Amino acid sequence: MDGNGRWATSRGLPRSEGHRAGTEAARGVVTRCRELGIRHLTLYTFSKENWGRPADEVKFLFDLLVRFLNRELDTLLQQSIRFLVLGEMADLPLATRKVLSHVIGKTAHCTEMTLNLALNYSGREEVLRACRRLIAQGVPPEAVTEERLAAELYTAGQPDPDLIIRTSGEMRLSGYLLWQSAYSEFAFPDTLWPDFTPAALDAVLAEFKGRTRRFGLTGEQVAATRGEKDAS
């Protein structure tokens, strides 16, 4: 969800207004994904590197997150959306941890969609943590498989992302879901996050649907499994 700051600055507003507008965009995208029957959605909300921002901006972001979750809990329950956090929650401010734990607990039974917020998240840290957990369990080297390692990631039990969208025209991952994104498709719309409406999401999804995913196979192999003449 990139571009909140630029959205605000281009309007002569403080960056905080961009973050506030960004929460409205997030609400719209969550609702649209739920309508479309998308089963898993992850929003990259706060990276480990974001701690380096000015202290007042960091504080604003966590206060905003608390307000957002308190306001959205009823909607999550109505729409049967399970809420989870990807990232180290122990390092977050106490008030934030409290509301996160509350919403995670309240929505644990929800089955229609999983909404992950990547918070205090770093993909490298996540892989390191998984390695440490395997070592701590005494797993012997030959038993360390992709499945075993994936089961120790924050995303344990969830499928890898089909599509990763980064808004604002920046074309980099910034440590996002490094393990899980091995075969993901990517989209980098120029739209700044606060302007990323459900219609903008629809446009990205329509383009994504037209892609052929080959997973390392040839176009002919993909065509054969699909029973089509030409998938190249």
| Sole binder of ligand IPE in the list 61, 92, 99, 200 (CB under 6 A) | 61
Q: Shortest distance, CB of residue 167 to ligand IPE, whole angstroms?
A: 9
- Binds 1, which of Mg ion, ligand IPE, none (CB < 5 to 8 A, cut-off by type)? ligand IPE
Q: Which residues of 87-111 are buried (b: 16+ CB within 10 A; e: fewer)?
A: bbeeebeeebeebbeebeeebeebe
- Binds 155, which of ligand IPE, Mg ion, none (CB < 5 to 8 A, cut-off by type)? none
Q: Which amino acid, 209?
A: K
Q: Shortest distance, CB of residue 180 to Mg ion, whole angstroms?
A: 21
| Sole binder of ligand IPE in the list 6, 27, 106, 133 (CB under 6 A) | 6
Range 170-173, long-range pairs (CB < 8 A, 24+ positions):
170/2, 173/123
Residues numbered 161-180 forming contacts with ligand IPE, rule: CB under 6 A: 168
Residues numbered 2-31 forming contacts with Mg ion, rule: CB under 5 A: 2
User: Minimal CA–CA distance to 193: which of 7, 66, 20?
Assistant: 7
Q: How many residues bind ligand IPE (CB under 6 A)?
A: 11
Question: Which residue matches tokens 């609400």?
Answer: 27
Q: Is residue 126 involved in binding ligand IPE (CB under 6 A)?
A: no
2 is catalytic: yes
Distance, in Å, from the CA atom of 102 to the CA atom of 70, rounded to the nearest integer, reads 9
Q: Shortest distance, CB of residue 179 to ligand IPE, whole angstroms?
A: 21
Decide: residue 36, CB within 10 A, 0-12 exposed, 13-18 middle, 19+ buried: middle
Q: How many residues bind Mg ion (CB under 5 A)?
A: 1
User: Minimal CA–CA distance to 29: which of 197, 163, 208?
Assistant: 197
Q: Shortest distance, CB of residue 48 to ligand IPE, whole angstroms?
A: 12
One-character DSSP codes across 47-79: EGGGGGS-HHHHHHHHHHHHHHHHHHHHHHHHT
List residues binding Mg ion (CB under 5 A).
2
- Catalytic residue numbers read 2, 50
List residues binding ligand IPE (CB under 6 A).
1-6, 46, 50, 61, 168, 193
